[in-house]
Amino acid sequence: MSAPRILVLVLNYNAGSALDPCLRSLRAATYENAEVVVLDNGSTDESLNAARRLGLEVHEFGANLGYCAAYNRAFEMYANRADFFLLSNADLIVPPPTIDQLIQILVADESIGFVGPVQRHEDTKEIRSAGIRWGCGRLPVHVTRPGEPYDAIEGAFVLIRKSVLTRTGGLDETLALNLEDVEWQTRARSQGFLSRIAAQAEIFHRRPGRVRRHTGAYYQARNICILTSRLCDHAALVQIRVRLYLEGLAGLVLGRPRARYVLEGLRDFRRGVTGMRSFS
């Protein structure tokens, strides 16, 4: 039998110099039936030149749709070109055997819908994420010891069974980005799909820049409130909102720039704001 077709969807938004080594590492994968497509969310830098130099297919959306909407569009466009989708950030280094190690787990058990590697920081090689743990009334945390319990796989690099899409739908575009992985995998789990970390597989992830860290604080604050309101009781929602509000106030007193974004996330949750938003 031929190896299953994997379509690697690399989502790019102004990744700069990080995109070239990411794409080169994916092209060096030992898996024999993987194709790479670069999705671009309206980049204004020169990062797409790396994809074109390598002769890779590029699809430009022309605007920043966010993580969820961009991938949902790609799932529709490329549905006939893949047996499995591999979602990848643009700032990763992927060792050659990683895709092989992921697909072996996914094809061995049809109940597994999502599989991902252990993620390490590119600079220190310390573990960034071996899964995400989350419960009602708490903020999500990354597992940093492989083998510890987790509830979801971090979405920076995850291989997905295509039947997850047909049975549960795609990513939730009201979230735009951040915690979309937890929401999707929680929804898929109710349909019998499991998430697995391939402990022997790994990738190396660049640390985010200052702007990305700050805007990420906004989406995490807003989206954890959305997620909690859907899946938990009122007491849990009050608990998480109070915790974030106190964190934001303390950050303002201490002069921490991300505090503003945390408080804006809480405000927008209260106002019912969803999806992508722009920041001045």
For 106-136, the pLDDT digits (tens) are: 999 999 999 999 999 999 999 999 999 999 9
Looking up tokens 């039947």 gives 163
179-211 pLDDT, tens digit each: 999 999 999 999 999 999 999 999 999 988 777
Instruction: Select from 173, 205, 237 the last residue of a domain.
Output: 205
81 secondary structure, DSSP code: G
Is residue 162 located within the same domain as residue 261?
Answer: no
The answer to whether 76 and 101 have CB atoms below 8 angstroms apart is: no
Percent of the chain with pLDDT over 90: 95
When pLDDT is averaged across residues 5-31 and rounded to a whole number, the result is 97
List the CATH number of the domain containing 133: 3.90.550.10
Instruction: Select from 151, 178, 205 the last residue of a domain.
Output: 205
For the entire predicted model, the pTM comes to 0.95
Instruction: Select from 205, 224, 250 the last residue of a domain.
Output: 205
Domain tally, the chain = 2
Is residue 222 located within the same domain as residue 137?
Answer: no
Is residue 77 located within the same domain as residue 112?
Answer: yes
Is residue 16 located within the same domain as residue 38?
Answer: yes
DSSP string, 215-246: HHHHHHHHHHHHHHHHHS-HHHHHHHHHHHHH
Query: Residue 72: what pLDDT?
Result: 98
- Domain hosting residue 69, numbered range: 6-205
Is residue 35 located within the same domain as residue 58?
Answer: yes
Query: Residue 209: what pLDDT?
Result: 78
DSSP helix/strand/coil, 129: strand
List the single range of 18-32, 80-94, 155-169, 208-222 with lowest mean pLDDT.
208-222
Distance from C-alpha of 131 to C-alpha of 141, rounded to nearest angstrom: 9
Query: Residue 1: what pLDDT?
Result: 58
Answer whether residue 116 is part of any domain: yes
Is residue 51 located within the same domain as residue 162?
Answer: yes
Answer whether residue 234 is part of any domain: yes
Percent of the chain with pLDDT over 70: 100
pLDDT band at 212 (very low <50, low <70, confident <90, very high): confident
